[in-house]
Structure 1
Amino acid sequence: MEKRLFVGGISWSTTEDQLRDMFAQAGNVVSCKIIVDKFSGRSKGFGFVEFETEEEAAKAIEMFHEKEDPNGRKIIVNEARPMEPRDNEGGGGGSF
């Protein structure tokens, strides 16, 4: 079990503070990050919450998976997976 959780389906209006407060009901939140578009600054609707212990993370999944976020949108909560290495080959689609 990971201590870091993926949270998907987050309402665009939900803030990191709101998400942190919600997940703090399950235990000690070490970090909370909503991913935003680097150009617009707008939420991409997903983020990550990390707990101090694996037990707290498991409790958060039980408490919040398929429940509503602070703004009424149903979220999914599961273990975060490590990011797959990107293949830097291939690409741009242009032709010569």
Structure 2
Amino acid sequence: MSVNIYVGNLSYEMTESKLRDLFSAHGSVSSIKIITDQYSGGSKGFGFVEMDDQQAANNAIRELNGQNILNRELKVNISKPKTNSWR
């Protein structure tokens, strides 16, 4: 079962390739997505990483949360499902 991980406070210089390298050190990465602004195309400063293995995901979260990467302290945790908070 794959695990979806939220990665926040990303530097605007962070690329999907660099993010993949960071997480690949902890296990198999199935997908990477940095969220971008639909108008400017620039990073919104957060993204999602999907890892194949629960243990690898837990290790990555533990090791990378709070790490200073490109002068930004990463916020890394299990992604919460999207909810309709307007109801």
Q: TM-score, normalised by structure 1?
A: 0.83
4+ aligned runs moved over 2 Å, structure 1: none
2:34 corresponds to 1:39: no
Query: RMSD in angstroms over aligned alpha carbons?
Result: 1.5
Deviation at 1:72, TM superposition (A): 2.6
Unaligned runs of 5+ in 2: none
Deviation at 1:68, TM superposition (A): 1.8
* Residue type at the aligned position of 1:74: E
* Residue type at the aligned position of 2:33: K
Deviation at 1:86, TM superposition (A): 5.8
Aligned position for 2:25:
25
Q: Identity of paired residues, percent?
A: 38
2:45 corresponds to 1:58: no
Aligned equivalents of 1:30, 1:85: Cα separation in 2: 27
Higher strand share: 2
* Residue type at the aligned position of 1:82: P
